[in-house]
Amino acid sequence: MIKFNQSRVLKAACVLALAALALMSWSLFDPRPIPVVLAMSLGQLLGTLSLGAFIVVVVADIRAGRATAAAEE
């Protein structure tokens, strides 16, 4: 089984979000075709992966909280 480390996944989500933001900012300051295409494809992919990783951590935290509350009852 793979051990799920929430803090590592959350840090990876932050790094992915910052990389996506950098690509999108680059396309705003340099509106040539290559930066815009990279921002629209790779930037969107990185941003989506970041959001997905964040949602996984949130869902895992909610499930752990419910399991703890059920165990206390």
Res. 17 pLDDT band, cuts 50 70 90 = very high
CA–CA dist 49, 65 (Å, integer): 24
Residue 72 confidence (pLDDT): 87
Which residue type sits at 62? Answer: I
Domain ranges of the chain: 7-68
pLDDT number for residue 73? 81
For residues 25-54, give the mean pLDDT.
95
Is residue 23 within 8 A of residue 46, CB to CB? The reply is: yes
